[in-house]
Structure 1
């Protein structure tokens, strides 16, 4: 299974945020730290906010903070949220597919189980388990 860059970058941002849960992070700051597009990270942050993972605040001293303790945020739930709409294979998509073996395929059910087990396995860990080491301040 291959995760999208959207999910990869979202996990990186959350790992950083979990390392300093009492402070707000701006997307500009995270974009600079990870050398990524600020616009792309803004879209990811919006998805994380819609999913109840982060809370965003505007203005001076604003930014994003985790909505709850990192130890209560399951990795599988994050991946499910960020991968929403990304079908593992074409026939899993909402628009259907032009598959010529639809109706007699024995692979689809196995892939669905594997995908579910992947999320279940990730849900054995929390964001706290993968938080980046705290950085020393100068």
Structure 2
């Protein structure tokens, strides 16, 4: 299974904000901590705001913060909402041109694998990836004071 960079960045933004629950943070701070493009993050943050995952506070001292509690952010749901195309192979697509589709057993196997992948992600929340043991290490790696 593969997730897009967009979903990866969405998860990273949520992790960063969950570590900073007491403070507002800027997109630039997140971009600097992860060493990724601010422009990429702007699109991600916009969508996460529209979907109700984060809240944007405008103004001189504004910034971003989680809009939901980490235990209310399900990883499987987030992946489904941020992945544009979960088609693992051509035969999953509506414009499938593969000539062996009518007799190919691979599609069913891959569909089962995708369901298993998503079902596993459904078992976890953002809080599950931010255990008390992991938080200090994440804060250090992201250089959050």
| TM norm structure 2 | 0.81
Q: Deviations over 1:7-64 (max 9, x none)?
A: 1222112111111223222211111111100010111112222322112233222222
Which consecutive unaligned segments of at least 5 residues does structure 1 have? none
Q: 1:69 to 1:102 in 2, by over 3 A?
A: same
Q: Distance in 1 between matches of 2:102 and 2:22?
A: 52
| TM norm structure 1 | 0.85
* 1:1-138 equivalence runs, <5 A: 1-93=1-93, 95-131=94-130, 133-134=135-136, 135=139
Structure number with higher relative contact order (C-alpha < 8 Å, ≥ 6 residues apart): 1
How many residue pairs get aligned? The number is 137
Q: Distance in 2 between matches of 1:64 and 1:90?
A: 38
Structure with greater helix share of residues: 2
CA RMSD of the aligned region, Å?
A: 2.1
Which consecutive unaligned segments of at least 5 residues does structure 2 have? none
